[in-house]
Amino acid sequence: MVQVEVVVIGAGPAGLAVSLNLARAARTVVVCDSNRPRHAVTLRSHGFVTRDGAPPLEFRRMGREEVESYDEAQVWQATVSSIVPEGTGFLVTGTTRAGETVSAQAQHVVLASGLVESFPKIPSLRQYYGTSAHSCMECDGYEYKGSPIALIGETDDVAERAVLLSQWSKDVVLLTNGADVVSDWWQERLAERGIRVDTRAIRDIEGEQGGFLTGVRFEDDDFLPRRGIFVRPTWTPSLAFTAGLDLVTTHDGLLAVDNEGRTSVHGVWAVGDITPPGPEQLMIAAGAGQRMAAMINRTMLGLS
Ligand SMILES: Cc1cc2nc3c(=O)[nH]c(=O)nc-3n(C[C@H](O)[C@H](O)[C@H](O)COP(=O)(O)OP(=O)(O)OC[C@H]3O[C@@H](n4cnc5c(N)ncnc54)[C@H](O)[C@@H]3O)c2cc1C
């Protein structure tokens, strides 16, 4: 069992930025990461200044190496299974890939474990996710500028997302896969922008095996040729391991935090995609992580 000042759970941009800046504040930190980032499926990540187009795994590798270069920091590849209050702090326990149990004790714990996505039930969607099917239009919309694209979504915010998508292409079709989620008011707004709404049930996405999609096949056998698809998943925080803590969540299931990232449990902080308000992007997660490191350091000095 290792004793440190802070344990960080998750080595995405949020957790890495917290850890790097805590180490630079001469704070001892252990980072536990299961190394299953949501964006691993994508070839390139966009919009992070100086790293536009960088492969996400390369981005994380560089971040990990930067953190590990400090004597104060250790990065463990381990999946955390529990956090329990112990004394005036917390005991964090996890398991490495080799099945070894590891644990660390700390006054402060940072949750930076990201989100898990659930998709509309379309058999081959995951096969194209990250190459020609995407969820984040700010991240990948530019690559489809002027191309025929579809937005697939079954939630009541899809009309608004279709309008956003029309910034990149004038050929956008909104597919609701049988869901009745576009009001008459929105139907008119979308028609004004040239966005067609198709509510038919989708049988599957078609394309080259392991490559790029060519379009959408409906249950009635009709085919809609498309170069790219944006999908609206639903997101839930990856937080099963916090069952031992009485954490308050927001109405949409994210962790409720104050302006500085404190959760409802004293000493437990949360940052990155698992906290509102987004948008869910690399630089925003990293920026929030850097700010949180300063807040934790100030708190430990009795200044906040
Ligand atoms: C397909 C895709 C493409 C994207 N493209 C872009 C892009 O181009 N540009 C952009 O700005 N944003 C992009 N994003 C969004 C971006 O990836 C996220 O906003 C960002 O990674 C969030 O950072 P985070 O640190 O909060 O969480 P994550 O990056 O999700 O990291 C969370 C980490 O916590 C770990 N973890 C989870 N549970 C545990 C546990 N129990 N124990 C230990 N570790 C755990 C996970 O393995 C993971 O490594 C994309 C997202 C997806 C899904």
pLDDT digits (tens, 9 = 90+) for 186-238: 999 999 999 999 999 999 999 987 689 999 999 999 999 999 999 999 999 98
Residue identifier of the C-alpha nearest atom 15 of ligand 1? 281
- The residue among 231, 246, 263 that closes a domain is 231
Structure tokens at 265: 């449990």
Largest CA distance in the chain: 66
Within this chain, do residues 213 and 132 fall inside the same structural domain, yes or no? yes
Residue identifier of the C-alpha nearest atom 14 of ligand 1? 281
Within this chain, do residues 109 and 126 fall inside the same structural domain, yes or no? no
Check which CATH number belongs to the domain holding 159 and give it. Answer: 3.50.50.60
Within this chain, do residues 222 and 293 fall inside the same structural domain, yes or no? no
- The residue among 202, 231, 260 that closes a domain is 231
Ligand 1 atom closest to 140 (CA): 8
pLDDT at 26: 98
Question: Ligand 1 centroid vs 117 CA: distance in angstroms?
Answer: 11
Residue identifier of the C-alpha nearest atom 33 of ligand 1? 10
- The residue to which tokens 């962790």 are assigned: 255
Residue identifier of the C-alpha nearest atom 27 of ligand 1? 114
Residue identifier of the C-alpha nearest atom 31 of ligand 1? 12
pLDDT digits (tens, 9 = 90+) for 69-122: 999 999 999 999 999 999 999 999 999 999 999 999 999 999 999 999 999 999
pLDDT at 102: 98
- The answer to whether 145 and 168 are in contact (CB under 8 A) is yes
Q: pLDDT > 70: what percent of the chain? A: 100
Residues with CB under 6 A from ligand 1: 9-15, 32-39, 41-42, 45-48, 79-80, 112-114, 130, 135-136, 139, 238, 241, 272-273, 280-283, 285
Within this chain, do residues 81 and 156 fall inside the same structural domain, yes or no? no
Within this chain, do residues 128 and 224 fall inside the same structural domain, yes or no? yes
Within this chain, do residues 189 and 84 fall inside the same structural domain, yes or no? no
Within this chain, do residues 226 and 267 fall inside the same structural domain, yes or no? no
Within this chain, do residues 65 and 45 fall inside the same structural domain, yes or no? yes
pLDDT at 110: 98
Determine how β-strand 115-118 pairs with β-strand 234-237: antiparallel
Question: Ligand 1 centroid vs 134 CA: distance in angstroms?
Answer: 14
pLDDT digits (tens, 9 = 90+) for 247-281: 999 998 899 999 999 999 999 999 999 999 989 99
pLDDT at 123: 97
State which residues form the domain around 141. Answer: 120-231
- The residue among 206, 231, 256 that closes a domain is 231
- The residue to which tokens 């996505």 are assigned: 117
Within this chain, do residues 201 and 272 fall inside the same structural domain, yes or no? no
pLDDT digits (tens, 9 = 90+) for 5-55: 999 999 999 999 999 999 999 999 999 999 988 888 888 999 999 999 999
Query: Is residue 62 scored above 90 in pLDDT?
Result: yes
Residue 275 and residue 237: Cα distance in Å, rounded?
9
pLDDT at 211: 80
Within this chain, do residues 141 and 184 fall inside the same structural domain, yes or no? yes
Residue identifier of the C-alpha nearest atom 1 of ligand 1? 39
Question: Ligand 1 centroid vs 48 CA: distance in angstroms?
Answer: 14
pLDDT at 46: 95
Q: Kindly indicate the confidence band of residue 244, based on its pLDDT and cuts at 50, 70 and 90.
A: confident
Mutate to test the pocket of ligand 1, among 31, 39, 236 (most ligand atoms within 8 A of CB): 39
Mutate to test the pocket of ligand 1, among 33, 59, 60 (most ligand atoms within 8 A of CB): 33
Mean pLDDT across 125-140? 95
Within this chain, do residues 62 and 49 fall inside the same structural domain, yes or no? yes
One-letter-per-residue 3-state SS of the chain: CEECCEEEECCCHHHHHHHHHHHHCCCCEEEEECCCCHHHHCCCCCCCCCCCCCCHHHHHHHHHHHHHCCCCEEEEEEEEEEEEEECCEEEEEEEECCCCEEEEEECEEEECCCEEEECCCCCCHHHHECCCEECCHHHHHHHHCCCCEEEECCCCCHHHHHHHHCCCCCCEEEECCCCCCCCHHHHHHHHHCCCEEECCCEEEEEECCCCCEEEEEECCCCEEECCEEEECCEEEECCHHHCCCCCCECCCCCECCCCCCECCCCCEEECHHHCCCCCCCHHHHHHHHHHHHHHHHHHHCCCC
Within this chain, do residues 149 and 78 fall inside the same structural domain, yes or no? no
Count of structural domains, the chain: 2
pLDDT at 43: 86
Specify the range with the lowest mean pLDDT, choosing from 78-82, 131-135, 183-187, 236-240: 236-240
pLDDT at 202: 98
